[in-house]
Every structure is written in C-alpha cells, then in structure tokens.
Amino acid sequence: MDKFPAFLLLPFLCFFHSLFLSDADVTGNSSDPGLTLSADSLCAQLIEPNGYFCTEHTIQTKDGYLLALQRVSSRSGDLKVQQGHPVLLQHGLFMAGDAWFLDSTEQSLGFILADQGFDVWVGNVRGTRWSHGHISLLDTDKEFWEWSWQELALYDLAEMLHYIHAITSSKIFIVGHSQGTIMSLAALTQPDIVEMVEAAALLSPISYLEHVSAPLVLRMVAMHLDQMVLALGLHQLNFRSDVLVNLVDSLCDDHVDCTDFLSSITGQNCCFNKTRMNFYLEYEPHPSSVKNLRHLFQMIRQGTFSQYDYGVLKNLLIYGQFKPPAFDLNNIPKSLPIWMSYGGNDALADATDVQRTLEELSSKPELLYLDNYGHIDFLLSVKANRDIYNHMIGFFRGGKLG
C-alpha cells in the first residue's frame, strides 16, 4: 500500500506534541510577574497580526512545568480596562492554544469570543510549542514526559484557573475540546478547582472512551501501539518524526482502509476546510507523552474514567488500592452550569459514551446535538459560529451567567 501523506496526521492528532521550541522570553516591566514578551509567541504569530490585543503570560505548575497563557481582547478593546467575563479555552490532544485561531476571525472561536466582549484566556499544556519547558528538566529527559492527562487536569488546568482567578478576581468560564474536556471533567470533580469555575462548555465531550468506533484507533489499541513506542525507547510522542510516521503507516494494511485517513480516525467530518490543511500544519502537531497515550488506551480497554493504572503492585504503593481511583462525575456540583455539544459522526466522542457521562452527572447539562458533525468539525467547521458558537455564547449569557 502507498504511504499515506504525513499531512493527514492532523485529524489523528485532534484526538490523541519534534517540534518543541523553548521560546526565550523576556520578562516585561509589569506588576504582573507572569507577564512575558516574546517575538516567537502565539500572540505575535496568530493573534496580533489580525489586529487583536494580546499579552503573553507564564505560570509554573506544582511539579515545575512552565506553561504559557495568552490573554486576548477584541480589536476595539483594551486589555488594561478589560471588563468582559473571563473564559479559558483548553485545547485537545496534540494541539495547543493556536487551535482556537486557525481560521478567519469570523470562524475561529478565540476571535469570536473576544469580539463578543469576553476576556479570553488561552491555555497551553506542558510540552507544547508555546509553553516554556520545566524549571529543571530538559525535554530530552525521560522524566520530562512522565505525565498523562491526569497531571494536565490536576496541575496544568488547575494552575491556569488559579492564575486567571487571581488576576481577574472573577470565576471563569471553561471551554474545552476533546482532551480539553477530559481535563475539565476530571478537574471539576475536585472541590478546590471547581470553586473557581462559573460554567463549563464542552465540545466533543469525553469522560469515557469505551465505544470509540474509529477503525484506525481500534487497530492501534489492538496492536498495543503504546507499548511498541515504549519498546523503541521513546517517551515523547512526536508525529513529525519519521519513526512514528512509519509506525502508524504500518498499521494501514489490509485490516484498515486508510485511503480516507481522516474518517478512519475521527469519523466523517462535514464542514471543515480541507484546503487549509497546509496552513494548519504550520502550527500542528504539538508533542505529547507516551504515558498520556497509554492512559487514553486504558480508558478504551477498561471502559473507565480513572487515574493512571500502574498495575496492581504499583497501584498499591501509589493509591493504596489495587485499582486506580475513579474520577467520580457525581462529585461535580449540581449547581455548576454545563453545556455540551456532540455529533452523530464523531467516532471518538461516541454518543453512547456521552450518554453515560450524562447519567453520572448530578446536573442536567444543556445539550446541542449535531447529527452530521464529526470530531474536527467542533473546532474547525466553517459553519461552527452559526451551528455551535452562537448557542454556547447564549448559554454563557443566559440567566445568572450574563
């Protein structure tokens, strides 16, 4: 079989970060100690060229990672007198904060929310291009990649919320896509985190992955791709490397038809602009960790929404029990407003798994179901403003959320 084009990896990366750049930041003269300046930054690359006000911020997690946050306001706004409600955008797997600004100002959620007067904050998890490494570890160190979405939820997302809350003195709206929803739901089960959140909007919401139907994903799980990568001595997942491109290519054989690579990973997407793929790949993919992939595969194999499974003996040492503790969705307060949008063609955030999430929540989230939407459409659909984002903004502004 002919090799699939490397550029088609982007749809795969929307689910599951080598171009890791450690930007040299210069601390700005500001009363905000986290404010930074950089010529090679998300603000400089994608946001300011479109005429929007943007500042770069650096925060440190409890385990020493240095994360980038961007703060964005509209072309007619001023960050110094920003009055809108703060909203944090949390990207998915193998992506970073640029994911919210890849299309036009009329189509990209980051621009749309800024134009609607929101105080937009853009999250970037550890290991991504826009974040800034670690206080003592190098990205070439094995230990640098010793994390999964569990740490992204309990350390990265938690620290982002603490920082924004301290700056704005306001509770925060969270918007997540894909892995960003896994992080959000896990974090919201923690009382010290959820108290900083005003409401949550989840695109392609995931807490369970038992009913993933994407053929190539199921093939990867069955072939134990996570263990294969570890056997190669890799701890960083970098899908710009020849090793991993060739490894995924080897899975496209008589068992899986990869001629439509996008559909084999995400389900059939109706509405994103395929002609912009080369532009998207100027920014994507970003690295992630092998441990993160293993954690996601555990969710598929075991049908759980739990902390990382180290095996019986290590679980006993770390957790004091044979199995890892579950993230109990019932612990998310009933009073927290939640809005979810999911699609009939999404082969990752399957409707059956979404229903299980809904059954375990104590609240009744507002729902928007789009029968023809696939996994990527919720982020990159050319019609998302009309189909999805207007509804989300209405939710944020409704009743006491206004």
Which amino acids are annotated catalytic? 178, 346, 375
From 338, 339, 343, 337, select the one nearest 369 (Cα to Cα).
343
The pair of three-digit structure tokens given for residue 382, joined into one six-digit string: 């050319």
60 close to 137: Cβ distance less than 8 angstroms: no
Distances (CA, A) of 188 to 185, 315, 380: 5, 23, 26
Cα–Cα distance, 402 to 396 (Å, whole number): 6
Sign of the C-alpha dihedral, residues 189, 195, 196, 199? positive
Cα–Cα distance, 194 to 174 (Å, whole number): 10
- Give strand pairing partners of 37: 26
Q: Which residues contact 63 (CB under 8 A, 6 or more apart)?
A: 147, 151, 155
Q: Give CA angle at 19 (14, 25), nearest 5°.
A: 110
Cα–Cα distance, 118 to 269 (Å, whole number): 29
From 117, 134, 124, select the one nearest 77 (Cα to Cα).
117
From 151, 186, 187, 185, select the one nearest 289 (Cα to Cα).
151
From 234, 242, 59, 74, select the one nearest 155 (Cα to Cα).
59
DSSP conformational letter for 99 = G
Q: Which residues contact 15 (CB under 8 A, 6 or more apart)?
A: 92, 93, 94, 178, 179, 214, 217, 265, 266, 348, 375
Q: Give CA angle at 214 (210, 218), nearest 5°.
A: 65
The pair of three-digit structure tokens given for residue 14, joined into one six-digit string: 């929307």
Q: How far apart are the first and last CA of the chain?
A: 55
Cα–Cα distance, 175 to 104 (Å, whole number): 19
* φ, ψ (nearest 5 deg) of residue 200: -130, 135
